Amino acid sequence: MEMMEERKALAEKKLEEYGQSHVLRYYDTLTQEEQEKLLSQIEQMDLSVTKYVHHRDELPGRGVITPLKAMEIPEIQEKEDEYRAIGLKEIREGKVAAVLLAGGMGTRLGSDHPKCMYDIGVTHPVFIMQRLIENMMDVVREAGTFFPFFIMTSDKNHDTTVAFMKEHDYFGYDPDKVFFFRQDMAPATDYDGKIYMESRCQMASSPNGNGGWFSSMNKAGLLDKLHELGVEWLNCFAVDNVLQRIADPVFVGATIAENCVSGAKVVRKAAPDEKVGAMCLEDGRPSIVEYYEMTPELLNAKDANGNPAYNFGVILNYLFREDQLEEIMDDKLMLHIVEKKIPYMDANGNFIKPETPNGFKFEQLILDMVHEMESCLPYEVERSCEFAPIKNKTGVDSVESARKLCVKNGIQL
């Protein structure tokens, strides 16, 4: 009991520091189990992000954007054998691991289950996770060895994802090479920066964006595992691109041969104003300029061959050198404060699911990690062969469009 009192006092202090004392409003009416749940949530969550709501205009702006040359397909083809040999050697020596970022909410797809469990099959079940693992198995067969496979989940989908993988025998992957970890959660607030309550014993929260993956890996104690396994490169990828190549030996080899500490798979933009982030330099360091940040000047800029200078969009498939990630781990990544619809409990105890945005969520993004790297190789891939993202049910970047692309690539659905 004394222990609970102490924890409560510490929680009160932490909440007061960030103007969130209302979170304990119902504390005395809760059962001991509920009190315990709320205190743990307060202890674990970084509440400092809420203070930025009132300082949104002061968040650092962008630096000077200049072009960063991509390695284009013809150049890759010319040296493919050399790069492949380098990459395969690294994979065989256990130096390359894959990291699946599967902590997102997948709200646009609107499924009740985690996105990796979504079935895109037509004549038989083909789950998104299965598709990704089938792609990984191509490399496993070529290299003659399984490589470590880390899967980031969130509190919202962890148990279901783990159970799903077990139920399906890891879709043929070696279970000893699969490691799950949970990403951190961030509070969700109203427009005044006050944390919403989801219930009397729970703050409204959501996964803190895909940029926190390495520090979450560290928190989960997996850095020791990386060292023990001798992993030197981490290939991070999104859950939703069902055609992407993972631990692609040629990509790994090219990044190493070019002496880069990171690499990003990119596709040629369909149009200069296409809605994808483009690789660039920002104040001389690798970075990604978002489509809505493109000024007319950037849109019209040309490279030495007369092609658009910001012509290559990122597809959320990055390669990072592990020692560099450790170096930047304690640096604070930029905070993105995003307006969202946040379900909450109102003052009368009713659970409200808003139809329009009613506050903020706080996210860090993996693309800001690229800017922390000294160098990055933008590596061009053929869009129709490696880019089939599933964000929506129908229309652009949807189950429908991804199915068509899978069929085009000879994948039976």
Subset of 162-221 contacting ligand UTP (CB under 6 A): 183, 207-210
**String of contacts with ligand UTP for each residue 137-166, x by CB under 6 A:** ---------------x--------------
272: exposed, middle or buried (C-beta count within 10 Å: 0-12, 13-18, 19+)?
Answer: middle
CA–CA distance, 325 with 124 (Å, rounded to integer): 40
* Binding of residue 106 to ligand UTP (CB under 6 A): yes
Amino acid at 165: M
Residue from 239, 278, 298, 369 binding ligand UTP (CB under 6 A) = 239
Q: Name the DSSP class of 186.
A: E
State the nearest-atom distance from the C-beta of 133 to ligand UTP, in Å: 15
CA distances from 211 to 158, 335, 367, 407 (A): 18, 10, 7, 32
Residue from 29, 107, 111, 307 binding ligand UTP (CB under 6 A) = 107
State the nearest-atom distance from the C-beta of 45 to ligand UTP, in Å: 14
State the nearest-atom distance from the C-beta of 150 to ligand UTP, in Å: 12
State the nearest-atom distance from the C-beta of 220 to ligand UTP, in Å: 14
CA–CA distance, 187 with 207 (Å, rounded to integer): 9
* Binding of residue 105 to ligand UTP (CB under 6 A): yes
CA–CA distance, 240 with 101 (Å, rounded to integer): 9
State the nearest-atom distance from the C-beta of 72 to ligand UTP, in Å: 25
Tell which residue, 260, 246, 334, has the closest CA to residue 290.
334
Which is nearer to ligand UTP, 40 or 107 (by Cβ)? 107
State the nearest-atom distance from the C-beta of 131 to ligand UTP, in Å: 13
Which is nearer to ligand UTP, 104 or 308 (by Cβ)? 104
Q: Are the CB atoms for 334 and 263 separated by under 8 Å?
A: no
Q: Select the residue whose beta carbon is closest to ligand UTP and give its number.
A: 104
What are residue 320's phi and psi, to 5 degrees?
-125, 140
Q: Are the CB atoms for 215 and 332 separated by under 8 Å?
A: no
Which is nearer to ligand UTP, 187 or 209 (by Cβ)? 209
Which is nearer to ligand UTP, 28 or 112 (by Cβ)? 112
- CA terminus-to-terminus distance, the chain: 57
Q: Name the DSSP class of 256.
A: H
State the nearest-atom distance from the C-beta of 102 to ligand UTP, in Å: 5
What's the CA angle centered on 153, arms 151 and 158, to 5 degrees? 115
Which is nearer to ligand UTP, 207 or 253 (by Cβ)? 207
Which is nearer to ligand UTP, 208 or 398 (by Cβ)? 208
Tell which residue, 381, 132, 83, 134, has the closest CA to residue 249.
83
* Binding of residue 238 to ligand UTP (CB under 6 A): yes
Which is nearer to ligand UTP, 35 or 358 (by Cβ)? 358
CA distances from 86 to 93, 148, 173, 203, 367 (A): 11, 18, 24, 49, 26
Kindly indicate which of the ranges 14-22, 37-45, 237-245, 380-388 contains the residues binding ligand UTP, using the contact rule CB under 6 A. Answer: 237-245
Binding site for ligand UTP (CB under 6 A): 101-108, 115, 152, 183, 207-210, 238-240, 316, 391
